[in-house]
Amino acid sequence: MARRPYETEETDFGLRLVASRDAGEGKRYVRVSAYLFPLAVAVPVGTRDASGRLDGFEVHTYVPIDDTHSWRFDFGFKRSRVVVTEKDVHRRLVIGPNYRRIPNAENHYLQDREMQRTKNFTGMVDFLSHDSCATESMGALYDRSAEHLGLSDKAVIAVRRLMLDKIKEFQDTGEAPHVIRDPELNVMDHAESTYDVFSEDWHEHWPHLTETVEQLLTRRETAGAR
């Protein structure tokens, strides 16, 4: 069976976004992110612990403040420790005292033409500047009907479709999506983001990611009864 480089799966928390690439010797590099409806995305960044598991990840939350702007809040953690080091908050180097990025559209993201000629394609220091330039340079409001989406935009299509479906559902029922009223159901172990290199199907490699909240609770209860 052919392996798809990009997959999306609708879940009880939003969407699971899966990207894979050939890693040689019959193995694939697989990266899983989680779109937590409606405002957050869990992304696998960081190093591995002694067991080989990704030692934590980040959750980026985008909070609208008007029709064309949002605040972005990044939350990161380590499974192996609670102490925060300067290395953990490296983005302080590119965030000013007003909590805005120092490289921004007004200063052309501090693009360095010599760096562009000799070091990298963009001439920018870090990926935060790369992402900002790509998303902000299209303008505050963009005519999406003029887009030409490709294979790598599969997740973008899936997120937009989900949002439109949930808006319609809310208009019809008055029930806001992904509102957890029962604390017992506030279990998001399966919303983890991670990456690894392996040969089997990713559902088999990470079986806990494909469970629902109810299945997770049942497994916990069963384990506790033993």
- Identify the weakest region by mean pLDDT among 28-37, 47-56, 146-155: 47-56
Q: Is the peptide bond before 207 cis (omega within 30 degrees of 0)?
A: no
Measured CA to CA, the distance from residue 36 to residue 47 in angstroms comes to 23
Tens digits of residue pLDDT in 63-105: 999 999 899 999 888 888 888 888 888 788 888 999 888 999 9
Tens digits of residue pLDDT in 12-25: 899 999 999 999 99
- pLDDT for position 223: 67
Measured CA to CA, the distance from residue 96 to residue 106 in angstroms comes to 14
- Res. 1: pLDDT tops 50: no
* φ and ψ at residue 207, rounded to 5 degrees: -60, -30
